[in-house]
């Protein structure tokens, strides 16, 4: 069952953000990179339907079709009761991503990032933000304006627990290294960061 398909976008307001407000509570070690990594119990703050942001730097190829970049949440799969206990991002194709809660009613599918952008062979920064005050979910790619939607799904019920890079407990949608696919940086925030903060992350952490 597919999740909700994005058909409209909204515009967020950019405000000045100083760097201390943009400090993640967890970041993937700078010496790590890969397509299948696990950090046990690294998500200590994002739970339930609380606001959150996750930023990642990755490179995808045409082989990365519906492949997970990151997933946070419980150890349960769809078959073992994991529905809506996760918050995950997947590259769908060259132009779209999906944010999974796990199980169709909790997913937001085919969010546009730019025409044929994700398979261009370069590293990109992508940030996913969710603000529980207005249930707005936004995708920021590099320094471009965000693509946002108002979630009409049931509220997230994300679990504390592991941070997974390139996979999730359903053991499908694994991020493949074929064609140069690689994930080299992921950071978690316990707030919905704004566009100025996304730009700060891009300027300070992005490596092409």
What confidence score (pLDDT) does residue 5 get? Answer: 44
pLDDT of 4-50, one tens digit each?
444 444 444 344 445 667 999 999 999 999 999 999 999 999 999 99
Tell me the domain boundaries of the chain: 4-10+29-205
Which CATH architecture fits 4-10+29-205?
Sandwich (2.60)
Mean pLDDT (the chain, rounded): 91
- Name the phi and psi angles at 105, rounded to 5: -60, -15
**Strands 108-112 and 4-5: what pairing?**
parallel
What CA–CA distance (Å, rounded) separates 72 from 95? 23
- 139-180 residue pLDDT tens: 999 999 999 999 999 999 999 999 999 999 999 999 999 999
Residue with tokens 């997933």: 71
Percent of the chain whose predicted confidence (pLDDT) is above 90: 85
pLDDT value, residue 194: 95
- Structural Rg of the chain based on CA atoms: 15
Query: What distance in Å separates the CA atoms of residue 190 and residue 51, rounded to the nearest whole number?
Result: 6
DSSP collapsed to 3 states, the chain = CCCEECCCCCCCCCCCCCHHHHCCCEECCCCCCECCEEEEEEECCCCECCCEEEEEEEECCCCCCCEEEEEEECCCCHHHCCCCCEEEEEECCCCEEEEECCCHHHCEEEEECCCCCCCCCCCEEEEEEEECCCCEEEEEECCCCCEEEECCCCCCCECCEEEEECCCCCCCCCCCCHHHCEEEEEEEECCCCCHHHHHHHHHHHCCC
pLDDT at position 207 over 90: no
């Amino acid at each position: 069952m597919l999740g909700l398909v994005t058909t409209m976008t909204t515009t967020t307001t950019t405000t000045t953000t100083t760097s201390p407000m943009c400090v993640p509570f967890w970041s993937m070690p700078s010496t790590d990179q890969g397509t299948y990594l696990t950090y046990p119990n690294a998500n200590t703050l994002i739970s339930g339907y609380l606001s959150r942001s996750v930023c990642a730097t990755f490179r995808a190829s045409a082989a990365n079709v519906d492949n997970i970049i990151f997933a946070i949440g419980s150890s349960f799969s769809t078959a073992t009761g994991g529905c809506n206990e996760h918050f995950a991002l997947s590259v769908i194709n060259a132009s779209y991503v999906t944010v999974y809660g796990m199980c169709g009613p909790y997913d937001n599918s085919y969010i546009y990032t730019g025409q044929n952008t994700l398979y261009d062979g370069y590293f990109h920064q992508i940030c996913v933000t969710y603000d529980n005050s207005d249930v707005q979910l936004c995708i920021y790619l590099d320094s471009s304006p965000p693509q946002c939607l108002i979630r009409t799904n049931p509220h997230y019920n994300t679990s504390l627990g592991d941070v997974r890079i390139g996979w999730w407990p359903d053991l499908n949608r694994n991020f493949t290294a074929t064609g140069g696919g690689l994930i080299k940086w992921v950071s978690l925030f316990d707030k919905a960061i704004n566009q100025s903060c996304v730009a700060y992350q891009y300027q300070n952490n992005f490596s092409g």
